[in-house]
Amino acid sequence: MTRQHVIKAALLGGVVLAASPAFAAEVTPQRLLNPEPQNWLMNHRTYDGQRYSPLERINKTNVKGLKLAYAVPIGGGAGNEYNESTPLAEDGFLYVVDSWGVLYKIDGRSGDVGRIVWRMDPKQQAPATNRGATFWGNLVISPANGPARIIATDKESGKVVWETNVVNGQDRVRITGAPLAIKDKIIVGASGGDTGVRDWVAALDAQTGNQHWLKYTIPAPGEPGSETWKGNNNAWHTGGGAVWVTGTYDPTTNQTFWGTGNPVPMMDPYSRPATISTPIASSRMSPRPAR
């Protein structure tokens, strides 16, 4: 069963989900390694990024019978909005982020109505691409922009526990991919490369939001891969290498893999002479599309 079928089961299929206790269990590293079949605790569901569910109630023989059970309106009134967030699901509750960075907790346990339990509004000034959140402990951790931030929200109360500005000296940085929780760290990838940002992958402390490390996806002169940036234009300062989507993680080797997007400028022969194809900006790539 694909991820799309799981979400349809929760939102459209009218399946009655078991009621959760008053306070749901914390999302531990062990649960993230082995999520319960009915739950979707991170962007790809599992660290390998396969995005499949082991549930079998909806399958290729009955999927054509799905119909709308209810709808929950989310977003604002700008008229030019888009929702790209993968909903999280835990014991019948759904957590989804709209293009304004607003995080919603929705009670879908009845199967025939969705009730918004709380909204966390980061007060963005304009819509921006947002692909969702992740769980860690009793927190729902999601990105917001204008400025670029990572926000940890208590999943019971909807109150902000910590908020970390991740602009890192580049005002045009955007966070479009959902964070990835690994052990006691929250891994985040930056985008905004199309507007001249030198993008990066960083780790935040899951309890406090403090930044532990940051690794740029475009190498500076002398770093591995810098030889692919020809000429004396210092294009690596605004080189792109955006991290549009969430990476994956291999617990056996303790390595995380993040795909990168296009360099910038990518088609201007005056800024990047002799460039005839888009190079890979990072030596380790996730096998999923850049955007």
In a domain, 271, yes or no: no
pLDDT at 289 over 60: no
In a domain, 77, yes or no: no
pLDDT at 11 over 70: no
- Average pLDDT of the segment spanning 68-77: 88
In a domain, 73, yes or no: no
pLDDT of amino acid 228: 81
pLDDT at 280 over 80: no
CATH number at 100 reads: 2.140.10.10
In a domain, 125, yes or no: yes
In a domain, 273, yes or no: no
pLDDT of amino acid 291: 46
CA 164 to chain centre: 16
pLDDT at 92 over 70: yes
pLDDT at 7 over 50: no
pLDDT of amino acid 230: 76
- Average pLDDT of the segment spanning 260-273: 67
What is the total count of domains within the chain? 1
pLDDT at 15 over 60: no
Q: How far apart are CA 135 and CA 100, in angstroms?
A: 20
In a domain, 285, yes or no: no
pLDDT at 290 over 80: no
More confident residue, 289 or 147: 147
pLDDT at 186 over 80: yes
- Average pLDDT of the segment spanning 208-233: 89
More confident residue, 235 or 160: 160
- Average pLDDT of the segment spanning 47-76: 92
More confident residue, 276 or 213: 213
In a domain, 184, yes or no: yes
More confident residue, 283 or 245: 245
- Average pLDDT of the segment spanning 187-206: 93
pLDDT of amino acid 155: 97
pLDDT at 108 over 90: yes
Confidence of residue 98 (pLDDT cuts 50, 70, 90): very high
Give the domain range for residue 150: 3-63+84-257
Q: What is the pTM of this model?
A: 0.83
- Average pLDDT of the segment spanning 164-184: 95
pLDDT of amino acid 234: 82
In a domain, 153, yes or no: yes
Q: How far apart are CA 96 and CA 118, in angstroms?
A: 11
pLDDT at 67 over 50: yes
Confidence of residue 269 (pLDDT cuts 50, 70, 90): low
pLDDT at 20 over 50: no
